Structure 1
Amino acid sequence: MYIATLLASPARADLGRAIVESLRDAWGGGEARWLNPGIAAEFAMPVIPANRWEAWEGLQGLGVDLVVQEEDGRRKAMLIADMDSTMIGQECIDELADLAGVGPRVAEITARAMNGELDFEGALTERVGLLKGLPEKVIDQVLRERITYTPGGRELIATMKANGGHTVLVSGGFTNFAEAVAAHLGFDETRANTLLIEDGKLTGKVAQPILGREAKMATLREVSGRLGIRHDRVMAVGDGANDLGMLGLAGAGVALHAKPRVAAQCDIRVNHGDLSALLYIQGYTVDEFA
């Protein structure tokens, strides 16, 4: 059996019964199950309809996400998540660059790298080079004043851990931010790049090897292997081109508010929901959130 999950923005909570039941009837699905009234609902069906993506496109215009997946095994044992523009609302390097006076230049490079137009490692090296001489204390200022957490993140981590899941934050950004974010949200472990600092200032260099697309895939393989978790029991979430490897390797790869070129390569696309959507598509009801 397959499950179709419909998701609306929790801020609007405007998923109507008519939308859900209309699609259910058109696809010959079973009884609709409401995971959270106005926000998430699902129904089962025997096959994936041929017009799946046409329906997805139509629902996007109504502010509704649609996810279709196999019912068996959709509740996962491990989550591996990107940080910047995924678990948090910012790109940390862009915030550092803004305070260094090179914001527009770095933001342009970041956008192109995340959309897959530039080599990630080369783009990171170039951007970090523009931060040379920035006082180390600016990192704490960015964490304190500029970082916001994506809604649903704490519930996602807490609920998966409460149900025996293992959670990993893996970032092409920096340990200075990733460790603080991981601690705040409750991740079990984290991986990220290391900014090199001397005499209280950034050197303009990052420790090698750089954690990019291949390293994110390697982390998924290493952690899941260590824990004896099959890849099909892993959920991955990210938004940039450097996340595509792990999104493709995981049993459920979620493109969350992703760059268009990234979303186009993923079957699970969340453009309107927040991180709680990752619980709904696993079949959790809001009453089961930790």
Structure 2
Amino acid sequence: MSEQAEAPKTLLITLTGKDRPGVTSTIFRTLSHAGVEVLDLEQIVLRRRLVLGVLVTAPRDWKKLRDEVAAAAEELGMQVEIERGTGDNKARREGRCHVTVIGSPLKASAVSAITGRIADAGANIDRIVRMARYPVTAIEFHVSGIATDRLRTSLVEEATKLGVDVAVQPASLIRHSQRLIVMDVDSTLVQGEVIEMLAAHAGCEAEVAAVTEQAMRGELDFEESLRSRVALLKGVPEAAIDAVYESIQLNPGARTLVRTLRRLGYRFALVSGGFSQITDRIAADLGIHYSHANELEVKDGVLTGEIVGDVVDRAGKASALRRFAVDVGVPESAVIAIGDGANDLDMLNAAGLGIAYNAKPVVQAAADTAVNVPYLDAIMYLLGITREEIEAADAAAGIVTPAPPV
């Protein structure tokens, strides 16, 4: 006997109309009278319009059930379609991944282009879910039938043209596991560059900023450029470090990101080419578990223009990431690294998910994905966490989730 002949007869019921309490319960009360088995169920509500899809086994007298469901729908003022067929949904194809699209705004033309590329690749969109509606719009597509790397290459190229952010990640258990977040600090967690703020106290901010920009683009050796910039800080009073710390502004959404993911058991680390006198204090303020950065040498209350010990460079950042992953007890595939400059490249490549956050072009080209909206907490949408879930968790803790300025 063929597989199709063995498959049970089924009914697909699709109900649409204005949402109100009791719609779903009324339909299932009707179905319960026929003793059918529920095989699949999906329901969404868009601007108070409900779409309910139910797949059930077909009873012997399926026409009687069809008429009863139609009568119940009419009472509810809903439209209904009932289609008789065979079997359940086909199993999802291999090559399953999550595609997250973030736009501010997210235009129909961008969605058209992204979904067109998915179709052109021969992949299928199995489900679509909205992750956030403000201050950005974030939509997640569940896709099957294509290798993650192949789809990522195609969609990232399209996203660059469209001016939206697209992340493509394999669908796996890692997304639901405990993870380690490793972040750069300057221009990632905080706004601006700490070394430039210190240089303002030495009267050489413009000179230091020019070298920093070249280093972040990957045009200069990081260690050499850092030592030359730090040398210009010689004689700056130690008190300037306190003044700089007090003036630091976190990027919008930073506290929300850390607060929310800590609730889920995530661990955090700061790995910076900046200075421990600043990063250690930021880590303590935010409740971040690890911090690794360069140490400015101080003697007799002033900066000497030297660094204590080895410089934390590209290789040093990646090494710290691996060390922290071992300490937390997670594989590197469960590490998320976030950075913006060329000295973050090794760290981003070492992580299971490397995110270029408002990064230099060389970094965006090399990272797994790029986030270019000015809200650090938008990264949570890539992890399958919705804005509504974030706000609900904050509300339960008596916190009003800040609305980042648009």
Q: Distance in 2 between matches of 1:25 and 1:155?
A: 34
Q: 1:252 aligns with which of 342, 353, 368?
A: 353
Deviation at 1:51, TM superposition (A): 7.0
2:386 aligns with: 285
SS at the partner of 2:303? strand
1:48/1:68 contact within 8 Å kept: no
SS at the partner of 1:3? strand
2:196/2:209 contact within 8 Å kept: yes
2:110/2:162 contact within 8 Å kept: no
1:32 aligns with: 128
Distance 1:34 1:18, change over 3 A: farther
1:121/1:210 contact within 8 Å kept: yes
Deviation at 1:33, TM superposition (A): 0.2
Q: Distance in 1 between matches of 2:161 and 2:194?
A: 31
Q: 2:295 aligns with which of 166, 190, 194?
A: 194
1:243 aligns with: 344
Identity %: 38
Letter in 2 for 1:68: V
Deviation at 1:21, TM superposition (A): 6.2
> More deviation in 50-59 or 149-158?
50-59
- 1:118-133 to structure 2, matched below 5 A, reads 118-133=220-235
Aligned residues: 285
Q: TM-score, normalised by structure 1?
A: 0.91
Provide structure 2 residue ranges, at least 5 long, that are not aligned to the other structure: 1-95, 119-123, 394-406
Q: 1:4 aligns with which of 88, 99, 102?
A: 99
How far does the alpha carbon of each residue in 1:239-266 deviate from its partner, in whole angstroms, 9 at most, with x for none?
A: 1111111100100011111111111111
Deviation at 1:227, TM superposition (A): 2.2
Provide structure 1 residue ranges, at least 5 long, that are not aligned to the other structure: none
Q: 2:170 aligns with which of 62, 70, 84?
A: 70
1:117 aligns with: 219
SS at the partner of 1:74? helix
> More deviation in 51-60 or 175-184?
51-60
Cα RMSD, aligned residues only: 2.0
Letter in 2 for 1:70: P
Q: Distance in 1 between matches of 2:112 and 2:383?
A: 20
Q: Distance in 2 between matches of 1:59 and 1:214?
A: 30
> More deviation in 128-137 or 75-84?
75-84
> More deviation in 248-257 or 222-231?
222-231
Greater strand fraction, Structure 1 or Structure 2: 2
Distance 1:6 1:201, change over 3 A: same
Deviation at 1:180, TM superposition (A): 2.1
SS at the partner of 1:87? coil
Distance 1:226 1:137, change over 3 A: same
Q: Distance in 2 between matches of 1:44 and 1:162?
A: 26
Distance 1:55 1:247, change over 3 A: closer
2:187 aligns with: 85
2:243 aligns with: 141
Deviation at 1:48, TM superposition (A): 4.8
Higher Rg:
2
1:15 aligns with: 106
Deviation at 1:20, TM superposition (A): 3.5
| Residue 314 of structure 2 corresponds to residue 213 of structure 1 | yes
Q: Distance in 1 between matches of 2:281 and 2:351?
A: 25
| Residue 209 of structure 2 corresponds to residue 107 of structure 1 | yes
2:81 aligns with: none
2:52 aligns with: none
1:42 aligns with: 140
2:114/2:158 contact within 8 Å kept: no
How far does the alpha carbon of each residue in 1:65-120 deviate from its partner, in whole angstroms, 9 at most, with x for none?
A: 11111121234611011000000011100111122111111111111111111111
SS at the partner of 1:196? strand
SS at the partner of 2:317? helix
Q: Distance in 2 between matches of 1:127 and 1:39?
A: 40
Q: Distance in 2 between matches of 1:173 and 1:48?
A: 38
Higher RCO (CA-CA < 8 Å; seq separation 6+): 1
1:7/1:273 contact within 8 Å kept: no
Deviation at 1:183, TM superposition (A): 2.3
